[in-house]
Structure 1
Amino acid sequence: MMRADAARNLDAVLRTGARLLAEDPSASMATIAAEAGVDRRTVYRRFPTREALLTAVFQAKLDSAERVMDEARLEEAPVAVALHRYVEGIVPVTRRWPVDTRRMMRADPAARPRMEELSARLDRFVRRMIEEGPLRTGVPLTWARATLDHLIDTAARQTPALDPPQAADLVVDTLLNGLGRR
């Protein structure tokens, strides 16, 4: 079990690393340590390279996204309920872990299968939204999925003043009324 202060330091390093590496992929470990409020040696003890830190950030993002999907109950809950739960949960994940998933897929081979599985789960849910409603039949899965992803990204990154429930309300309303059944 990790001591509370060590867990806080690790969380600060991971969150700061995610933010700084998203802004500048060449951010130094010293900069990340200083911004996180920890000694550079603390960072290097846990992450000997920037790539090791980035891998830990990617895994933390994937862990968080997986928890959100599980809690949203995408397969079991009524579609509208699952959609709202998913968006409300994934907006804070996107804000907390702003690293680019395309970069994650290239930089961390271990992340690729996990990312593909999470993406497949979301594709199955979007297909369910089309098959069961509330999305119109005939809307291409790829279009509906891209629209959902874009709305979430917009809510998370471009409207940070919205709290997660407000962001979920807006995303769900926009998705369902923009692609909803006529």
Structure 2
Amino acid sequence: MRADAARNLEAVLTTGARMLADDPSSSIGAIAAEAGVDRRTVYRRFASREELLAAIYDSRLAAVEDVVRAARFTETTVPVALHRYVEGIIEVNRRWPVELTRMRAEPSIQDRRSRLSTEVDAFLQRATHEGFLREDIPAGWASRLLIQLLHLASKEDMEAPRAADLLVETFLDGIGAR
């Protein structure tokens, strides 16, 4: 793909994610205009609004997969891996703010999301076994709490590294082992 075509595609996808997060009924024409490309350019790439939505969701999910790989859950100390993961997810949530609920029903999407959840849950179990998290909290509590803290941190008006510092400190002090 040519460099300008790649830039245009990236602009359409990230603009679409942002606009659809603000207004789920945003049209392809409005997204194209905001991205600075012609509507026909978008329609040459995506035959329908549903194809555009699927591409946005796929891009978001690929970014999350990259963050999970970069966190190195099994090779890195728990606090460092947690910080890498949190900072990366905050950046993903800000770049790809749309959460397309109807895309979750797609079998390939479900499989990818399930693998990611399994990796995060295994990491949180490791954190518990290594004494970073309390053992007396209900099953799944740490995971659900982390998701909520990530959503909150993603909306804060602070740089991602600082938001990650605050989130990790809050998470480990709040349910961290004493």
Both proteins in one fold, TM over 0.5:
yes
Q: Match for 2:146: what amino acid? A: L
**Structure 2 counterpart of 1:166, from 162, 165, 169:** 162
Q: Percent identity?
A: 54
Give the match for residue 120 of structure 2: 122
Q: Match for 1:59: what amino acid? A: D
Structure 1 segments of 4 or more deviating over 3 A?
none
**What CA RMSD, in Å, does the superposition of the two structures yield over aligned residues?**
1.2
What is the count of residue pairs matched by the alignment? 178
Matched, 1:5 2:4: yes
Question: For 1:16-165, what aligned pairs fall within 5 Å after superposition?
Answer: 16-100=15-99, 102-106=101-105, 108-157=106-155, 159=156, 161-165=157-161
Question: Runs of 5+ in structure 2 lacking a partner?
Answer: none
Instruction: Work out whether residues 13 and 33 of structure 1, in 8 Å CA contact, stay in contact via their aligned partners in 2.
Output: yes
Residue 101 of structure 1 deviates from its aligned partner by 5.4
Q: What TM-score does the superposition give when structure 1 sets the normalisation length? A: 0.93
Residue 140 of structure 1 deviates from its aligned partner by 2.4
Q: Match for 2:166: what amino acid? A: L
Give the match for residue 176 of structure 1: 172
Q: What TM-score does the superposition give when structure 2 sets the normalisation length? A: 0.95
SS of structure 1 residue aligned to 2:74: coil
List per-residue Cα deviations over 1:136-165 (Å, max 9, x = no partner): 1122231111111111110002x0x21111
List per-residue Cα deviations over 1:78-110 (Å, max 9, x = no partner): 11110011111111001111121544303x442
SS of structure 2 residue aligned to 1:141: coil
Q: Distance in 1 between matches of 2:53 and 2:107?
A: 12
List per-residue Cα deviations over 1:104-150 (Å, max 9, x = no partner): 303x4421111111111111111111111211112223111111111
